[in-house]
Structure 1
Amino acid sequence: LKVPVMREGKVIGGVGTSIFLNDLSNILAEELKLSDDMVFYAVTAENEVALHSNAELILQENTDLPKNVVFKTSPLTGWRFALGFKD
């Protein structure tokens, strides 16, 4: 994950970090305490699964993700964060 550092509308640098997506997904799944019929996930701007309540689905294509969800798109990353019921 990286973001530009801006000054007067110009990029003057960048800040980045490494995130272990499997670990983050497992932590979120534990903390959210969702019922068995619910799912959370995040999809990148390139349509790859970045986070999922089932960590085995990370970096897979999003063809089988539930479609009946509420979601919010991050203005920073372009990722879509979703929460819904399994199909």
Structure 2
Amino acid sequence: MFDPRKLEQVAKQIQDAMPQPVKELGNDVEQKVRQVIQAQLGKLDVVSREEFDVQTQVLLRTRQKLTALEQKLEALESRLTADAADKQD
């Protein structure tokens, strides 16, 4: 769901910001930072970029269909109005 490269980048930034004595603990700290970040990201209510793109396309198609239906409805209403006016004459 999350880009591992982005996760690595964030973990490295956090590790770089740590004081030197903490950095000297080595890979253990780096691993813990990654685990904490992954756990927190997992708690977020988010969707993947792929799912977002799919839903964007679905929304676009739905909007296009809605616009077409609105145009058809307007045409039908116009025809009904014109027919009703003709009957009154």
Same fold (TM over 0.5): no
Give the alignment's TM-score, normalised by structure 2: 0.23
Instruction: Give the structure with the higher percent strand.
Output: 1
- The structure with the larger Rg is 2
Instruction: Give the structure with the higher percent helix.
Output: 2
Give the alignment's TM-score, normalised by structure 1: 0.23
